[in-house]
Amino acid sequence: MTDNTAGPLSRSLFARAQTLMPGGVNSPVRAFRAVGGTPFFVASAQGAHLTDVDGNRYIDFVQSWGPMILGHAPACVREAICRATETGTSFGAPHEGEIALAEEVSRRMPHIEMLRLVSSGTEATMSAIRLARGVTGKTHIVKFEGCYHGHADAFLIRAGSGAATLSIPDSPGVTPGTAAGTCHADYNDLDSVARCFAETDGDVAAVIVEPVAGNMGCVPPVPGFLEGLRALCTEHGALLIFDEVITGFRIAKGGAAERYGVTPDLTTIGKILGGGLPMGAYGGSRDLMRHMAPSGAVYQAGTLSGNPLATAAGLATLRAIGDDDTFYERLETTGAALEAIVSETAQAHGIPVALNRVGSMLGLFLRQGPVRTWQDVRQSDAAGFSVLFRALLQAGVYIAPSPFETIFVGSAHDAPILDATRAAFDQAFAALARTRKDP
């Protein structure tokens, strides 16, 4: 398949960008290295669509990698941001918007009695790990192969997402000493977690997990996995950290903790929390969070933490989602419809697929199922995914340019959007089938 992923204006911009930014991008997966071709450059976004600088319009299932659960540029969020700009864009001082957002988070996630706002999911996860080590006095953390918790050194050990896309599971610049403090386990395998506790003589400060793995496609926890993690952490005096940067406010009003009925010690959130602006947070019980400076000795700070524009956008988003389950019931219906579209069009062209879905998160794997582990994910047909991605883009549908990412559904994906999506997937699977028939 020829390079049809970008028009002439996008190609020109990409050439300029490559002289100024590593790979021409500010986040690696955007470079399209895993799927081939040249990335398109966005001119505008509205609802379920992106429009590039060449005038091409795409149905967007990336949603800025998850935050845009209401679709792009919803009126309520734009109005909230505009109102916030009238009083200033950054204070470096406390303001009431921080309190209002924290109250809204705590109301939806009651196990978060106290939190600290930061500027990204990475900042949230690295701060939570520091807090866990500071509270427990222990050294090691346990993370899961294929799970991605941001680009802090301690997490770039057998990570998923962009690190896997670029075949860099262990980044240069991560010291042996840092790597030695991270014990990797297998997602959905409690025995591997127990081995980490045994191999470190119980010197584990925290187990950090994506309760639904969203950085190796979408891989849900098998029954008993999260409950088992809770029990192991309690037994060994370690903290259980749910990385809900993706799942927070996406799979339930109270995130994965509500959906699965398992309460972590600490939770990290982001993406939807900022309503499309840079925002993250970490939190837990008052007893734990009071160890953070200035109340306690564990230090963390940030110039733009609690930014008034981001808090306004996040608060508007959460209020638009509402207090009952109606919003999530609609997303469940839309997610199920998209899952059926992918399954039926793949089957029509004889393409084996495994699909994992949790609410509005969908994982598409070009292989027979089931897919429960990082090893299962890695057996997907990466070359075939490249063909599928580029054919979808040509048909006007944008999914993440990596086989290790999640397809996201939002409230802007209505029935006409899904009809157009069906036609695009039918065309794309037909293109993939043709490549498999060619000698």
- Told to judge if 398 belongs to the known catalytic residues of this protein, a careful annotator would answer no
- Is residue 301 left, alpha or beta, with left meaning phi > 0 and alpha meaning psi from -120 to 50? beta
Annotated catalytic residue: which of 58, 60, 138, 148? 148
Any alpha helices (H) in 238-381, and if so which ranges? 255-260, 286-289, 308-321, 326-348, 374-378
- Round to whole Å and give the CA distance between 306 and 308: 6
Positive or negative, the Cα torsion across 360, 365, 371, 377? negative
Annotated catalytic residue: which of 138, 143, 253, 271? 271
Contact present, 104 and 315 (Cβ < 8 Å): yes
Contact present, 219 and 188 (Cβ < 8 Å): yes
- Round to whole Å and give the CA distance between 284 and 112: 4
Contact present, 170 and 210 (Cβ < 8 Å): no
- Told to judge if 243 belongs to the known catalytic residues of this protein, a careful annotator would answer yes
Listed in sequence order, the residues at least 6 apart from 188 whose beta carbon sits closer than 8 Å to its beta carbon are: 219, 221, 222, 225, 372, 373
Annotated catalytic residue: which of 243, 265, 376, 381? 243
DSSP character string of 364-403: EESS-S---SHHHHHTS-HHHHHHHHHHHHHTTEE--SST
- Told to judge if 253 belongs to the known catalytic residues of this protein, a careful annotator would answer no
Catalytic site positions: 148, 243, 271
